[in-house]
Chain A
Amino acid sequence: MIKLYDYPASGNCYKIRLFLNILGVAYETVPVDFYPGLEHRNADFKAINPLGQLPVLDDDGFVIRDAQAILAYLASKYDAAGTWFDRDDPVALGKTMMWLAFADQITATSSAARLHDVLGFDLDVDAARKGAHAAFRILDDHLIEQEFVGEYWLAGDRASIADIACFPYVALAPDGGINLGNYHGIRRWLARIKRMPDFVEMPGIFLEFDEPMAAE
């Protein structure tokens, strides 16, 4: 069975749990004591991932790190219909890869602000929040442009692994003191993702009662 080296409060681990649930693929987790144990920095874990980062996926002996790489791998192997990662159309592939890379930009800023605000990590939180807002403006503009052409997802007219990759640390931004109130395109996109069948929550990302539930 698939093994996911996991930390429940990590948005990057969560995106893998979310996608596995959407695909209906069974897996087991190996809980890693990211905080306060800092187990990801010890020698045993670095033998699994020399970068000392979560998540890591072990699929029957094939070990792969990096959340975005794991999403691409899982889609290629387990999404029989091929809707989550279109590798045949060069334009669709290019767009998906572009937004997959953008997810790292969000992690570097929004996730850093959250680590500061929640776990007291010593870092420049003002710079992190500023960076997150810069990324969110780009994301918000893109999502609103998508709505104008009748496409409601990052890389086209259907949800892809790019949406899964960018979703967690946008949704968790308020944990880092980043207000999403003015990003209307982002807020509608978050609500669309939360309404997907087989959506699962994580602490800090939950279905809100006052969110619009009507279809687009």
Chain B
Amino acid sequence: MAKTTDAFALNEWLVIGRLEDATHDKPRVTRLLGQDIRAERTADGAIGVWETDLAGNKGRALPVQERYGHIFVTLGDTPRDLLEMPEFEEEGRRLVTIGYVRVKTSPLRVVENFLDLGHFPYVHTNYLGAEPQTEVANYKAEIREDVDEVWATDCSFFQQKAAKSATDGQQSEYEYRVTSPFITVLYKTCPIKPGAWDLVGLFVQPLDEDLCEAHSFVLPFDEENTDVELRHFQQTIFLQDRPILENQLPALLPLTPGTEMPARADATSMTYRRWLKKKNITFGVQKDAASTNSRAA
């Protein structure tokens, strides 16, 4: 597809890889919102990103931010701010980038799945949950107008192996924060440091409306696991989700009320969809009959 015309999506800061993914001798050649792009480390040490044409020739240079271990770019002229995560400054935390998993579905479906506690015991059996402890306790999901973010708080769930550093099951407390249609952060009870939260972040790179790459990181207090072990744990979780996501139909996220049946555990998902609707985002969203016709015309 060609570059999207969705003004909201165009003016987001979007991930396109880890800092290590674009080097002098090996650029990262990829796509964003239907636009081919190329990222490479330039002579002055900074990362440059350009739009490219079908032959791979560089066109317009894009604004770049190197933050949180990743490369962010925007295709728009008036981008909303990238999220702030002050936890990155806290001593004792460790940043481990996970890399990405490519998924043939709407980027919005990947974010929504990340917000869903209900699938833990079924999809992530013995990792993030297990039968018969499948109950999702009541929690609170809201749009915080002051910061323009979606939050879910007071989430609680019994988990076998809530994090790599957990040896026994524990009742995990969760908070979810959605700062962009394509970015969400999970704050999770730290198994080894009472009162602290571990962070698991998801940055979804929208390649096309129905194709994306899910990049992620963890920022825990953890002294016993190696980076590689933390990576493998998170990659396992994402690879368990992937076939489920690719089988969700339609691939584009429906925002019309009543299209999919909500359960109580889906409160965060419903709030996320409501927030997307308010933003008039169309990228990755199922088109209604009228707009489908106009697209064909």
Contacts and interface: CB of A to CB of B under 8 A. Distances in A.
Interface string B8-29: 0000000000101100000000
A37 interface: yes
> Interface extent on A, as a size class?
20 to 34
A183 interface: no
B228 interface: yes
A209 B18 CA distance: 37
Interface stretch (B86-94, B233-241, B270-278): B233-241
Given A33-B228, A36-B97, A37-B228, A118 B104 contact: no
B231 interface: yes
A203 B227 CA distance: 20
A8 B243 contact: no
A203 B240 contact: yes
B18 A36 contact: yes
Contacts of A197: none
B18 A175 contact: no
B119 interface: no
Contacts of B243: 174-175, 204
Interface string A151-194: 00000000000000000000000110100000000000000000
27 contacts: A8-B232, A8-B235, A9-B235, A31-B229, A32-B228, A33-B228, A35-B99, A36-B18, A36-B21, A36-B97, A36-B98, A36-B100, A37-B228, A37-B231, A117-B102, A118-B239, A118-B242, A119-B100, A119-B101, A119-B102, A120-B102, A175-B243, A203-B237, A203-B242, A204-B242, A204-B243, A206-B240
Given A9-B235, A35-B99, A36-B100, 6 more contacts: A37-B228, A117-B102, A119-B99, A119-B102, A203-B242, A204-B243
Interface of A: 7-9, 31-33, 35-37, 39, 117-120, 174-175, 177, 203-204, 206
Interface of B: 18, 20-21, 30, 97-102, 104, 213, 226-229, 231-232, 235-237, 239-240, 242-243
